[in-house]
Amino acid sequence: MWQFEEPKYFYLLGVIPFLVVLFLINLYWKRKKQKQFGDLDLIKKLSPEKSIFKPVLKLVVLLLALAGIILALVNPKIGTKMETVKRQGVDIVFAVDISKSMLAEDIAPNRLEKSKQLVSQIINQLGSDRIGIVGYAGSAYPVLPITTDYSVAKMYLQSMNTDMVSSQGTALSEAIKLATSYFDDPQTSKLIVLISDGEDHGEGFEDAVEEAQKRRIKILTIGVGTEKGGPIPLRNHGKIEGYKKDSKGETVVTKLYPETLKNIAKSASGGYVYGGNTKEVVEFVKNGLDNLEKTDFESQQIADFQSQYQWFLGIAFALLLLDVFLLERKTAWVKKLNLFNEKE
């Protein structure tokens, strides 16, 4: 099984087609200038040792070396064996609000990105707990089932956006119901961490919270946004083109409603914290976990992941070394083969 330690560096592979395009443009420019200078056949006879194939070969070698360096930065790892690991921890489901109101920028960079940062920092502090992720707006969407793979969890977390759920609004009850269904082991301690601005356009959450209580699920809530509120920006290719308006043409101002989140937390034997300070939020969740009984459970997982970056780095340096010895003039022994019928 393969695992990538730093998958973000895969984006650098996009430089390769750009370099190919630059090479072709440069080739076209050179040929155009040669035509202006004189007859191409005559120029070719004046430089008989110049190879047409070698520049292309050098480009291929350099691009392969660049790809090798990028793959070394990604650091692929191979899992060598499967083993059963005994763990002691808590099952946690993060329910993240992905409604359009979470695009408001009354908290930097915006409510949704701040929520992702909070969840990511909480995950960094976990030990052997199992985690799952739910996204919700007018309805709830299962993003990631219960897992112990934190790197995969962060990858799915970063991919969350407001277009994942077609029905807009914020149905907190749907989020709690779906999060509750994630817990499949009646023996484990269970925790739902609900992140939202507290706007609730769905039906009452009381029934969902009651069901969570019956299953001994504790709920912690985190409020993201400000009570003063802010408009919801409408973007096109990253640029703000305006702000969301209501049916009367007035700009919609979305606010943080902490009382809703406090009521949910109180009803589910949990607690509420404002999400403005990351350190305080992480400490709050950590204290909540410390008050829960840790449960023993077993999980099958790939173990002994070995880094493979050195192979890609070695190949890249070998190719760069090869490029040093690749000259743009014709190779003598290849020239003798007359593969392209160049001899008259």
Residues 6+ apart with CB under 8 A from 61: 319, 322, 323, 326
**What is residue 339's predicted lDDT score, i.e. its pLDDT?**
46
Whether the per-residue pLDDT at 301 is higher than 80: the answer is: no
The CA radius of gyration of the chain, in Å to the nearest whole number, is 29
Whether omega for the bond prior to residue 109 falls within 30 degrees of 0, making it cis, is yes
**What is residue 51's predicted lDDT score, i.e. its pLDDT?**
65
Pairing of strands 91-97, 190-196: parallel
Read off the pLDDT of each residue in 257-271 and give the average, rounded to a whole number: 92
Which percentage of the chain shows pLDDT scores above 90?
51
Residues 6+ apart with CB under 8 A from 290: none
How far, in whole angstroms, is CA 248 from its chain's centroid?
38
Q: Answer whether 0.75 is exceeded by the pTM.
A: no
Cα–Cα distance for residue pair 331/194, rounded to 1 Å: 68
Asked if 316 contacts 72 with a C-beta cutoff of 8 angstroms, the reply is yes
- Number of residues that make up the chain: 344
Class of domain 84-299: alpha beta
Residues 6+ apart with CB under 8 A from 60: none
**What is residue 79's predicted lDDT score, i.e. its pLDDT?**
63
How far, in whole angstroms, is CA 199 from its chain's centroid?
26
Which percentage of the chain shows pLDDT scores above 70?
82
Query: 3-state DSSP call for residue 113?
Result: helix
Pairing of strands 2-4, 130-136: unpaired
**What is residue 340's predicted lDDT score, i.e. its pLDDT?**
46
Q: Where are the domains of the chain?
A: 2-75+308-337, 84-299
Instruction: List phi, psi (to 5°) of 263.
Output: -65, -40
Whether the per-residue pLDDT at 121 is higher than 80: the answer is: yes
Whether the per-residue pLDDT at 113 is higher than 90: the answer is: yes
**Token output for 32:** 């155009």
Cα–Cα distance for residue pair 16/3, rounded to 1 Å: 23
Whether the per-residue pLDDT at 192 is higher than 50: the answer is: yes
